[in-house]
Structure 1
Amino acid sequence: MMIASSLIKSRSLVLFAGAVLVSSAMPAGVALAGTPEEPSIHSLTPAEVQSGALTIEQGHEGVRYVSGGVGVEERAWLAAHESQFNTRLTFAVEPGGAFVSDVQVLITAGQGKTVLKTTTNGPKLLAELPAGSYEIQATHDGQTLHRTFTVASHGHVALGFGFKN
Structure 2
Amino acid sequence: MKTISTLALTMALALGAHWSAAADLRPTSQNGVTYLSGGVGEEERQAMLDARGDYKLLLTFSTKGSGEMLADVAVTIRDHAGKEVASLVSPGPMCYLDLAPGSYRILASAHGKEISRTAVVKPRGRRELYFYWDPV
Write the mapping of 1:10-25 to structure 2, written as runs, cut at 5 A: none
Q: Is the counterpart of residue 85 in structure 1 residue 52 in structure 2? A: no
2:109 and 2:59 map into 1 onto residues whose CA distance is 13
1:154 and 1:129 map into 2 onto residues whose CA distance is 11
1:122 and 1:88 map into 2 onto residues whose CA distance is 13
Task: Specify every segment of 5 or more residues in structure 1 that has no aligned partner in the other structure, as ranges.
Answer: 1-28, 31-36, 38-47
Task: Specify every segment of 5 or more residues in structure 2 that has no aligned partner in the other structure, as ranges.
Answer: 11-17
**Could you say which residue in structure 1 is the equivalent of 2:27?**
56
Paired residue secondary structure (1:81): helix
Q: Compare CA radii of gyration and give the structure with the larger one.
A: 1
> Is the 1:50–1:77 Cα contact (8 Å) retained in structure 2?
no
Deviation of the 1:110 alpha carbon:
2.0
Paired residue secondary structure (1:77): helix
Structure with more contact order per residue of length (Cα contacts < 8 Å, sep ≥ 6): 2
- The one-letter amino acid of 2:129's match is L
2:88 and 2:124 map into 1 onto residues whose CA distance is 25
The sequence identity of aligned pairs, in percent, is 32
> Is the 1:49–1:76 Cα contact (8 Å) retained in structure 2?
no
**Could you say which residue in structure 2 is the equivalent of 1:130?**
100
**Could you say which residue in structure 2 is the equivalent of 1:149?**
119
- The one-letter amino acid of 1:149's match is A
Deviation string for 1:53-72 (max 9, x for gaps)? 30100022x10001000011
Select the residue among 90, 102, 119 that pairs with 2:72. 102
Deviation of the 1:116 alpha carbon:
1.2
Aligned residues: 121
Deviation string for 1:4-61 (max 9, x for gaps)? xxxxxxxxxxxxxxxxxxxxxxxxx98xxxxxx6xxxxxxxxxx9986130100022x
2:80 and 2:21 map into 1 onto residues whose CA distance is 39
TM-score, normalised to structure 2, is 0.82
1:164 and 1:51 map into 2 onto residues whose CA distance is 28
- The one-letter amino acid of 1:56's match is P
> Is the 2:61–2:132 Cα contact (8 Å) retained in structure 1?
yes
